[in-house]
Amino acid sequence: MQSILLKTGVAAFLCLAASGCVVAEGGEPEDDEDLGTASAAQIDIGYKKKWRLYTATFSNGQPFFRVLAIGGSDVGPYQANTEYWYVTSANLGYLGQNSVVFSHVDGDDTPPKQSGSAQFQTPWLVPWTSFSNDPVSGGYRYDNGSVHLRIAVNGGEISGLTWYQTIPAAQTPTNIALNGTFTVGSGSVVVPQGSVGYYVNSAIP
């Protein structure tokens, strides 16, 4: 997955949590690109609206980030099939100490203007790669059921993130619906028996 980081002050980046997987808006995910990979939406944008704004807050009440997910059509100044991220850089010190709680609102009009000390955008469709043993280590890990997020930090900035989902072997990875609480985890992501793990790994410049 490629990402574009727009620095406004101290650079930082974060990703988030999720509570499950659902079919992406517009139908089934694309066919597998090759053995062990598939392209699917990274974050759920809902079924009936043009955009969805997710808010991530640490369990101590401090803001973490917001992500504006745009559907298949441009909305005002925002491009279709794009995720716009806004991070509160000053609160990165809470990583690994507090859970992260997610909520969202949907809309059809121009989304409300957002701000953050660090801003970046990522494409909506990304390649998922299968794994049996966690290919990434270190950083801060967050868990919500079968969905996991690992956040790497270097020099006081977010330097990378890894999304994971573990699903039954007969299923195909789809988009992640961000909802509820992601708790602090540790170590490797384990794939349960009868399931397959998928991950997306991204370095942040």
Measured CA distances, 38 to 30, 52, 173, 185 (Å) = 7, 24, 7, 26
The Cα–Cα gap between 199 and 112 comes to 31
Spans of all domains in the chain: 4-203
The model carries a pTM of 0.74
Angle 184-186-190 from CA coordinates, rounded to 5°: 115
Query: What pLDDT, in 10s, does the model give residues 82-138?
Result: 888 898 888 999 999 999 999 989 999 989 888 888 887 776 667 889 999 999 999
- How many CB atoms sit inside 10 A of residue 181's CB? 14
Q: 33-42, 90-99, 162-171, 176-185: lowest mean pLDDT where?
A: 33-42
Share of the chain above pLDDT 90, in %: 39
Q: Please state, in angstroms and rounded to a whole number, the distance separating the CA atoms of residues 101 and 109.
A: 26
